[in-house]
Amino acid sequence: MRRTGVRRVSELPLRLAVIGDELAAGAGDPKALGWVGRVAARTHASLAPTILTLAVPGEASTALAARWDEETARRFSPEADNRLVVALGRADLGAGLSLARSRLNLANILDVAESRHIPTFVVGPPPGHREDSERIAELSGAYNDVATRRRVPYVDTYTPLATHEQWLGDLAAGDGVLPGQAGYGMMAWLVLHAGWHTWLGLPDDAT
């Protein structure tokens, strides 16, 4: 399946809608930046991108799939290079959704975005409670498979952070669920080094 807009075809200003839960909003970060703010600060375009974070705390992928199209349509502009970032959390586990349902929800988001000619980038769920590790790994793997099949960039935040001492320490210093300043910094690093600038059609200076 062909994905449009990986390379920029115009000099239209970038407008990015980030849909997700409290992790997309940077909850728990004492600097109130989250990974989105840190990535935005390192996104070097001729015109500063407009980044709109549309987050609902505790939201599972079923609700996300139901709301994203209408909410982003109100914020996108024909005079901008409109792009979608899907920031997936861990709420599907608490909601009791099956992997099949989670896969379908993401597939529906990506397929509708494709029909709207909206380039999409997916960020997977990071590690949380240790007792949920296996389930989060399975969820991330399922999301990765859906995105890969559609040739949509996917950032696996789970695998590199699951045993990372700094990440685990950051979680332990807080509520055990949300990262703090260091954790969001690590998530931002992973996004920037997973083809972010290439996806935006910008020079890659994420080092």
Can you say how many angstroms the Cα of residue 84 is from the centroid of all Cα atoms in its chain?
A: 9
**Number of Cβ atoms within 10 Å of the Cβ of 149:** 12
> Which pLDDT value is given to residue 207?
44
**Number of Cβ atoms within 10 Å of the Cβ of 114:** 18
> Which pLDDT value is given to residue 5?
40
Is residue 60 within 8 Å of 22, Cβ to Cβ?
no
> Which pLDDT value is given to residue 176?
82
> Which pLDDT value is given to residue 206?
47
> Which pLDDT value is given to residue 102?
98
- Give the pLDDT confidence of 177-200 residue by residue, as tens digits: 899 999 999 999 999 999 999 999
Is residue 169 within 8 Å of 14, Cβ to Cβ?
no
> Which pLDDT value is given to residue 74?
96
> Which pLDDT value is given to residue 203?
84
> Which pLDDT value is given to residue 1?
37
Going through the chain in order, the beta strands assigned E by DSSP cover: 14-20, 50-55, 81-87, 120-123, 154-155
> Which pLDDT value is given to residue 4?
40
The pairing of beta strand 154-155 with beta strand 14-20: unpaired
Please give the structure tokens belonging to residue 5: 């807009």
> Which pLDDT value is given to residue 92?
97
- Give the pLDDT confidence of 13-26 residue by residue, as tens digits: 999 999 999 999 99
Task: Give pLDDT < 50 ranges for the chain.
Answer: 1-7, 206-207
0.85 cut: is pTM over it? yes
For residues 135 and 93, give the distance between their C-alpha atoms in angstroms, rounded to a whole number: 7
Q: Which domains does the chain have, with CATH numbers?
A: 14-196 (3.40.50.1110)
> Which pLDDT value is given to residue 93?
95
Q: What are the residues whose beta carbons fall under 8 Å from the beta carbon of 66, sequence distance 6 or more? A: none
Based on its alpha-carbon atoms, the radius of gyration of the chain, rounded to whole angstroms, reads 16
